[in-house]
Amino acid sequence: MAANGKHDQLRLGFLTAIEIPDKGFVGGLLVTNQNGRPLEFQCTAPVKPNATQAILYGPTLVPFLLGELIGVTLIEKAGIKPQIVLTDREPILELRNHIEQPVALVWGPADSLPSDETETRDRLRLGRQTLRFHPAHDADHDALARDAAGIPADADLQEPFERVREALQETLRSGALK
């Protein structure tokens, strides 16, 4: 198993974005193996819509920015393509309409799904969290249940997003994205 992800180990993409006042949205993608060890990281420069764009996109603005513009760019840039994309921001689910891989929202702790409730098509327990899917792609449920079975039952799927946010802040502080 090589750390460069070239082998057929499971590759997870943790995609999130932060909003910086006066600068707009910055997106980051961390590709890890199934144990959370990093393989690749990509991040974007800040994206800020102008007034016209904000008016014309209306409520679709944020899903467009985070899912289509930032998300697609990061997936395309990644040399090590994730097999599954996880996000902690619901608008990023829009990304699923533009890529082939399953996209899931890390929605809440595993116990947010009552133990006596059967998993529905739009929800799945994975690691210590519950996942949700894009309503138009409910087949992602089965794909994840099949492909992500190697993820440990006590894996914390929220934690990598903390790393991505820290890395985004560090990158902004460094001025590398100016």
On whether the CB atoms of residues 87 and 103 are closer than 8 A, the answer is: yes
Q: Is 3 in the site for another protein (CB under 8 A)?
A: yes
Q: Is 52 in the site for another protein (CB under 8 A)?
A: yes
Q: Pick the piece of the chain touching another protein (CB under 8 A) from 81-89, 91-99, 100-108, 147-155.
A: 147-155
Rounded to an integer, what distance in angstroms lies between the CA atom of residue 118 and that of residue 101? Answer: 25
On whether the CB atoms of residues 104 and 83 are closer than 8 A, the answer is: no
Pick the binder of another protein from 10, 90, 98, 171 (CB under 8 A): 171
| Closest to 4 in 3D by CA, of 35, 30, 40 | 40
In the block, tokens 């899912």 appear at: 67
Q: Cα angle at 40 between 39 and 42, to 5 degrees?
A: 160
Pick the binder of another protein from 12, 15, 17, 43 (CB under 8 A): 43
Please report how close the Cβ of residue 42 comes to another protein at its closest, in angstroms: 4
Pick the binder of another protein from 98, 125, 137, 143 (CB under 8 A): 125
Rounded to an integer, what distance in angstroms lies between the CA atom of residue 167 and that of residue 31? Answer: 13
Pick between residue 80 and residue 143 the one whose CB is nearest to another protein.
80
Please report how close the Cβ of residue 107 comes to another protein at its closest, in angstroms: 15
Pick the binder of another protein from 44, 95, 123, 157 (CB under 8 A): 44
Please report how close the Cβ of residue 152 comes to another protein at its closest, in angstroms: 6
The H or E element spanning position 4 is none
Q: Is 55 in the site for another protein (CB under 8 A)?
A: no
| Closest to 4 in 3D by CA, of 101, 79, 85 | 79
Q: Cα angle at 23 between 19 and 28, to 5 degrees?
A: 50
The H or E element spanning position 72 is helix 72-77
Site residues (vs another protein, CB under 8 A): 1-4, 30, 32, 34-45, 47, 52-53, 56-57, 69-70, 73-74, 77-80, 110-111, 115, 125, 127-128, 145-146, 149-150, 152-154, 156, 159-160, 163-164, 166-167, 170-171, 174, 176-177
